[in-house]
Structure 1
Amino acid sequence: MGDTSGADARRPPRGGAPTRAAALILAVLGVLLLLCGAGGASAAPDSGSGPGTGSDEGGAAPPVSQSVRLADALRADPVYVTDQLPRVVPRSTAPAFAALAKTTGVPTYVLVLPDHGGSGDALLGTVHDRLGRDGLYVEVDDMGVAAAKAFGVRAPADDARTIALYALPYDAGPLRSFRVFTEAIASGPARAAHRADQLEKKYGNTGREVAPDYIDSTDRANQSFLTGIALTCLPLSVLLIGWFLRARRHRTRARGAVGGGGAGGGAGGGGGAGVTLAKGGRPPGKPDGRSTRKGAQGAQGAKDGRGAEDRTVRGGRVRALLPESAAALLLVLGIVLLAPQLFDQTTDSAASPPTRADLTARVDRVAAGLRQGAVYTDPESPQVLDAARLAELRRKIAAFRTGPIRLAVVPQLPDDESAGESEAFVTAVHARLAADGGGAPGTDAGKGSGGLYVVADPLSGDIDVYDYGLPLDDLRLTLDLPMAIAYDRSDDASDDNHLGDRLDQLMAYIAKVPHAAADPSSGPDQPPEAVSAHKLPGLFHGDFFPGLFVGAFGAAVLVGLTAAGTGTGAALRRRAGRGPRRAAVAEPPSRASTAYLAQAARRETDALATRFAAAAPDAPHRDTAWDCLDTAMLLLGDHDGDGDGREGEGHDGDGRDAGARAAESAAATVLAQAGLAALAGRPYLHCCTVNPLHGAAATGGAATDAAGPSDRVPSARRAAARAGHRCDGCRAAAARGPDALDRRRLFLPGPHGSWRPYEEASGPLPTARDGIARLIAGTREYTHVQ
């Protein structure tokens, strides 16, 4: 042809201009023919009609392209929802998408597809070209609106997509994202542009985002664990720490609370019972005989009533624990009732629960495709195998004589019906194919439903092989499958993950796998489990129970820390110069129990006896200390014979009521305090009249005569004096008001759980208002009468 053309070119032309015009026309026609041929060749892969499985009778038909398949779907319905995302976008939600699409005011075409990793705008442009209709084209993936493009209509697609991106949390879901998108489209270009600009400034490059709406099962497990900890740690901490602090305060007061309130507390070192008094000569005017014998028995005799006191102590402690127990119970009820209100999430996703049809749609589609041919390629996904590669694979599959090979080029996604588990997917396809009777006659699909199932993911490039009944070594096909075949290990990036080359390598590898006994039960031949309705586990479930044990341990740790802290604080106060007895002393209570008063009387009297025995015969105020000790032991000695039993409610074994014994113990304590103060060189004539257990009065009126009875002083003067005999604490309380002073007044136990002022008690205690000398005289009169 080249020689002929050259010869013709050298010939002289015939006909002049017409000949040149004809040649030019022929040249233009030739170029057009070449262009048409090239266009037809390039369009061949996207052409064709049919199911898109690449399976004609001759096995040479190319697969239907992704854009053609999607354009055909939109031609039938302007909203297309994939069957590959039933866990987040079930196909049953298509009517909801369609209803929202109608609110935009322009023709809207919606594609709900898996994330294919490519350009959404490019896909929408190709689909628009194939469909040939103007309108708003929107692609939605498992996260929300992925791409939007307007063709021939006026719609703020970009601004609406920006609004849907930034105005919602990442877990809002595709349907809610599309709703916000359509609302932005319907609002108009100006308003959409303004809101998009605001959101982009707020969230665009700031790293900020809208807080998520949902939690997952891990978050619920953490909530359950925290609830369990709170349910045991908080109530037990209140109960145990309250018990510890009360016990510590009780021990502190029992060791010397009363002594700390007066002058004797710091002086007494705390003696023991059974101290032998060595009084160097009996001072004149002191009673002998009965008084001395009672003094020698005083410390030991007080022990005879301890049975009743122990019962009182136990009852008091039980009553003392009632506030902590009530608080702990309220905490338990509060946590049980409020925790479900605080952690009120019930679902882990915005997705609608899928129906059974949603979960089986893709399995049915793939099984139907494999029934018609040995190779099925997903028409919704990018086509990674061209016609030549498909033809070569079919040829190799047909040449394999051991049994059928079924190849499914289908994505395996976390949100599909099998949760991305290819084995569960193959199991469901195999079961469906078996129910349909296996491969259709007259096709290359093979007989029955058994054989080798190969799953190739066109998005990730992963390849999995499962054997259903062929006599092959299964380990060589699963665990020993070469990594270069199972995964794309190539260094050079490729859109198709070199899937065609690796499938060719797989076919060559399968041909070399040694035979073994057939295993018809290979793989779990069960359909995939139904998806739950995105419900979260209950709050009192799972990790809630380990949290209970951790909470109990935490309560024990808090109690230990409290004990360590209080002990360390006491030690630091002692080291700072405060006496060890003073650091541990608390102010005497205004409502003192019988047991408390008895313990205080024993300790203070024993302390006075010890100090008195150690004092020099000529020590100052020794006679005053002896008078106090002698009369205090008279009161304690009168408890001799008190048994554990009771003759009646509120009575001791000797018939005296508990209030009288409490008053005697209080009077003995006041006398012991005065004696300790006298030995320490700080004698006082009057104790605090608000609460005699407070010790010496800091202020007062005229003192009564220690040598004579107080009735020599007119009653008006005595009342005025008593009103002024107060300790420092009561003096400060009086300045705050009468209520503050009344809270410090001493009350003693009365009948049937009542309390009465100490001034109304029987015995010598009320005479303490008139001074220590009057209390000594009154005690001697009282004990001699008894």
Structure 2
Amino acid sequence: MFATVAALLTAGTVLLTAGAAHAAPAQAQPQVPAPTGPTAQGQFAYLAAQLRRGPVYISDELPRAVPRSTAPFFAAQARRLHVPTYVVVLPFATSGSLDSGLLAGIHDHLGRKGLYVALSEMGLSDVQAFGVSVPGAQDAKTATMYEMPMDATPREAFRHFADVLLSGQAPQRADQARARYGGAYNSHEPPALHTTQTDREDQSFLTGVAVVGVPLTALLITKYAGARRRSRRDPSAVDTVGSGAKPGGGAAPARPRQWPLLELGALALAALLAFTASRVFDDTTTGDGSMPTAADMRARVDRVAEGLRHDPLYVDPEIVPPLDAAQHAALRERIGGLPVPVLIAAVPMSTADESQGDEDLLAKHLHDRLRRDALFVLANPASGRIEIVNYGIHVDASYLYDRPRDLSSADPATAPLGSRLDRLLTYLSKAPRAARPGQPYDPPPAPDPVAQQKLPGLFAGDFRAGLFVGGLAAVLLFGLVVAVWALVRWLGRGRARAVAAAAAPVEPRRAWLRRTAWAEVDALTAELESVTELPEEARRRAWECLDAAALLADGDSDGRIDGDATPAGLACAIVLARAGRATVREPSAAAYVCHRNPLHGTAVEQRSKPPAGRRKVPIRPVCAACREKPGEVLRLYGADASGRLGHHPYPLHPGPLAALANGSDIDQLTRQVRESFGVN
């Protein structure tokens, strides 16, 4: 029994210890002092030591991408998984590949069961479970890697991983994501999460184009359509605008003052578009909103400076040691024997660090922090680059600049850092002395990370260019609309002219006149017999038109066109029959026909456009087509006054039809026809 109780107490102690480590607050995460030289434990031991103090460790080399102050967020997401979870966030260049054994090495040195997660500034790197069962962890990792876009931050990637793992659908999500976003690299990329600086420039430009282009296009087209409509209603108004005179003479009546409704509507539309754009494109920062603190930005400089105070050769403990213990000791001894002070820092550089990858700026920060003159040698184990910055040492600058190429840059896979540093120290030991101490130019400061993530205003930057392009596009689009409109009208007029030419030829043949006269008289007869309700005046006019047309076409009432019917008589019969049919269809139809070609049918105006060179507008009825463009005068075959045969204008032919040239109406025409036949 006591053994059982002891076992339970032991198990409870282990669980409490693991739970305490899992739930330890990551905000106040003190960093274990970095070893000044390589140890047998190396990178794994250092990271395990950091995780003993808290379940989340964020490298201080990524303040612009993953500030260390965001550790509480990662800890909160880890607690959601209800299993001891340890999270490390390291630079992508130093975290190693998936088969580097990083998480396994950390677990071996930490000795705690749980779910181990590695992230970098690129997102989720690796997930491994040791001593615990976490079903779906690998599937959740797969789904996260496929479903999250390239601009997803480590915070967003880890939260997405936790969401997928807790959903209970991790295997299905992984299969769906692999099927949807698999394939060639970047061929099926999920949509971006954040608005970049370039995106904001495009949004500003598009907003400017829309704010000016859409309302201006609508305004121009609407005003043009209104002007066209007014010109169709009163064509003479176009000629008298601005002249201050009426068509018949005298002053034009003053128009009442009107509000510019179209212009106000365009302004309202522009304001609405601007307001809508400000709500749609409402991002103010790029990224997930995490901003580094001042402590985040100086953490790595403090760590490296503290290491260099105790050892002139500092190797970043977060990376795989590029030097073994023997190399480290030998290099330290050689540094101590040099005639000039040398400080070497083997640290990786990236655009996400406090210096934004600028070695000169990092050297300046270290010099300012140490307050010590020396040759600062910055070696990047990941890229193989070596930079030398001289602060206050009497060494020839050209000698440092003209050093062998492999002492500046080399492939770390083929040129180990230890041997290169050894050759560099040999080279520095032979450096000629300079009369003046070295003093490099002050490098420009790195961009402020807060300002770097802040997006410019929507109505700034390319917004003005968008306004100009929008106005230009509106004018071009308006011109295109007008051109298309004119083309459509021209084609429509062509078809209308073709139809009109078939129904009202300028020089009709005798056969056409006989055939059409019979068809029109027959059609009018049928319409009058079928109509039940018709105003008395319209009924009278229609029957008079039928009687007059019958007299002209079939004077002997034998049911056939008279053989001696003249072209002028047949044309007059067609005009009367069509006028009667128009009255039956529309009792309020005008009592006039087109004076230029009576076969055109009912007139719509009693004014035509003034001929060139004449100021007075003739009062003669015209059809719609002749109002826009005066058509040719009807010409009929026959002999003129001098006896010459041919097609002559219809007013020159004898008969009642000639009266239409003087503006006579249909009632006058029917009376003249009856009088010519002696019918009352």
TM-score tier (shorter)? 0.5 to 0.7
- In the other structure, the counterpart of 1:52 is 35
1:500 matched residue in structure 2: 418
Residue aligning to 1:110: 87
Counterpart CA distance in 1 for 2:399 and 2:213 is: 55
- For residues 323-402 of structure 1, the aligned pairs below 5 Å read 323-401=261-339
Q: 1:461: which partner in 2?
A: 384
Answer yes or no: is 1:136 the counterpart of 2:115. Answer: yes
Contact 2:69 2:293 in 1 (8 A): yes
**1:469 & 1:174 partners in 2: Cα distance?**
41
Matches within 5 A, 1:502-521: 502-510=420-428, 511-512=430-431, 515=434, 517-520=436-439
Partner of 2:462: 543
Structure 1 411/63 Cα, relative in aligned 2: closer, same or farther at 3 Å? farther
Alignment equivalent of 2:72, drawn from 81, 95, 99: 95
Task: Determine if the alignment matches structure 1 residue 429 to structure 2 residue 348.
Answer: no
Is 1:162–2:85 an aligned residue pair? no
Deviations 1:402-456 (A, max 9, x none): x43222111112222222222332222222223xxxxxxxxxxxxx2x3322222
Correspondence 1:485 to 2:404? no
Listed one character per residue, the Cα deviations across residues 646-694 of structure 1 (whole Å, up to 9, x for unaligned) are xxxxxxxxxxxxxxxxxxxxxxxx99x87xx44646699x866xx8779
Query: Residue 351 and residue 342 in structure 1: after superposition, are their counterparts in 2 closer, same or farther (change >3 A)?
Result: closer
Give identity over the alignment, percent.
39
Contact 2:124 2:144 in 1 (8 A): yes
Offset at 1:495?
Answer: 4.1
| Letter paired with 1:346 | T
Other structure's SS at 1:110 match: strand
- Aligned residue number for residue 45 of structure 2: 68
1:718-739: CA deviations, max 9, x gaps? xxxxxxx99999xxxxxxxxxx
Higher mean C-alpha deviation, range 114-123 or range 512-521 = 512-521
1:409 and 1:430 map into 2 onto residues whose CA distance is 16
Cα deviation, residue 536, structure 1: 1.9
Query: How far apart are residue 85 of structure 1 and its match?
Result: 1.4
After superposition, the Cα gap between the structure-2 partners of 1:386 and 1:342, relative to the gap in structure 1 and judged at 3 Å, is same
CA contact (8 A) 1:458 1:496 kept: no
- The reply on whether 1:153 has 2:132 as its aligned counterpart is yes
Deviation per CA, 1:241-279: give whole Å up to 9, x if none: 444555566678776799xxxxxxxxxxx9xxxxxxxxx
In the TM superposition, what are the counterparts of 1:436-447 in structure 2 within 5 Å? none
| Alpha-carbon distance in 2 for matches of 1:344, 1:363 | 36
The amino acid across from 1:340 in the alignment is S
Q: Please tell me the residue identity of whatever aligns with 1:100.
A: Q
Change in CA separation of 1:255 and 1:487 when aligned onto 2, cut-off 3 Å: farther
Q: 1:683 to 1:346 in 2, by over 3 A?
A: closer
Matched, 1:417 2:397: no
Answering whether residue 450 of structure 2 is matched by residue 531 of structure 1, we say yes
**In structure 1, how many angstroms separate the alpha carbons of the residues matched to 2:474 and 2:624?**
40
Alignment of 1:675-754 (within 5 A): 677-678=594-595, 680=597
Between the aligned partners of 2:600 and 2:490, the Cα distance in structure 1 is 31
Deviation at 1:345, TM superposition (A): 2.2
1:502 deviation in Å? 3.5
Corresponding position of 2:475: 556
Residues 64, 352 of structure 2: 8 Å contact kept: yes
Partner Cα separation in structure 1 for residue 493 and residue 179 of structure 2 = 63
In structure 2, distance between residues paired with 1:571 and 1:525? 67
1:52/1:63 contact within 8 Å kept: no
Distance 1:396 1:683, change over 3 A: closer
CA distance in 2, matches of 1:682, 1:70: 102
Amino acid at match of 1:347: T
1:165–1:525 Cα change, 3 Å: closer
Question: What is the aligned counterpart of 1:408 among 345, 354, 359?
Answer: 345
Does the aligned pair in 2 maintain the 1:86–1:354 contact within 8 Å? yes
| Superposition RMSD in Å | 4.4
SS in 1 for 2:319: coil
Match of 1:452 in 2: 375
Q: In 1, distance between residues paired with 2:443 and 2:317? A: 28
| AA aligned opposite 2:354 | E
Unaligned runs of 5+ in 1: 1-48, 55-60, 259-269, 271-300, 435-447, 583-619, 622-669, 696-724, 730-767, 775-786
* Cα distance in structure 2, aligned partners of 1:250 and 1:476: 87
Contact 2:354–2:446 (Cα < 8 Å) also in 1? no
| Amino acid corresponding to residue 162 of structure 1 in structure 2 | T
Match of 2:360, as an amino acid?
A: E
Report matched runs for 1:77-92 at 5 Å: 77-92=54-69
Aligned match of 1:742: none
Amino acid in structure 2 at the alignment position of 1:427: K
Shift of 1:378: 0.6
TM-score (norm 2): 0.62
CA distance in 2, matches of 1:63, 1:524: 38
Partner residue in 2 for 1:8: none
Distance 1:335 1:112, change over 3 A: same
Per the TM alignment, residue 358 of structure 1 is displaced from its structure 2 partner at its CA by 1.1
Q: Is the 8 A contact 2:86 2:116 kept in 1?
A: yes
Aligned partners of 2:43, 2:293: CA distance in 1, in Å? 26
Provide the C-alpha distance between the structure 1 equivalents of 2:224 and 2:391, rounded to a whole number of angstroms.
69
C-alpha change, 1:74 and 1:324, in structure 2 (3 Å) is same
Secondary structure at the residue paired with 1:166? helix
> CA 1:216–1:397 in structure 2 vs 1: closer, same or farther (change >3 Å)?
same
Aligned pair in 2 of structure 1 residues 252, 556: CA closer, same or farther (>3 Å)? same
Secondary structure in 1 aligned to 2:434? coil
Task: Give CA-to-partner distance per residue, 1:209-235, whole Å, 9 cap, x none.
Answer: 432221211111111111112222222
Is the 2:304–2:314 contact (alpha carbons within 8 Å) kept by the matching residues of 1? yes
Verify the 8 A CA contact 2:393 2:437 in the aligned structure 1: yes
> Residue 91 of structure 1: CA displacement?
1.2
Q: Tell me if the contact between 2:79 and 2:85 (Cα under 8 Å) persists in the aligned partners.
A: yes
In the alignment, residue 407 of structure 2 is paired with which amino acid? I
Partners of 1:136 and 1:149 within 8 A in 2: yes
Q: Taking structure 1 as reference, are residues 62 and 131 closer, same or farther at Cα in structure 2, changes over 3 Å only?
A: closer
Query: Aligned with 1:531: secondary structure?
Result: helix
Q: Residue 211 in 1 paired to residue 191 in 2?
A: yes
- The structure-2 alpha-carbon separation of the partners of 1:563 and 1:679, relative to structure 1 and needing over 3 Å to count, comes to closer
Task: Say if 1:412 and 1:331 are closer, same or farther in 2 by CA, change over 3 A.
Answer: same
**TM-score, length-scaled by structure 1:** 0.54
Q: Name 1:223's counterpart in structure 2.
A: 203
Structure number with greater CO (CA < 8 Å, separation at least 6) is 1
The counterpart of 1:119, out of the listed 72, 87, 97, is 97
How many Å apart are 1:339 and its aligned residue? 0.4
Which one-letter code corresponds to 1:153 in the other structure? Answer: V
Computing the radius of gyration from Cα coordinates, the structure with the larger value is 1
Aligned to 2:551: none
Q: 1:527 to 1:368 in 2, by over 3 A?
A: farther
Partner letter of residue 219 of structure 1?
A: D
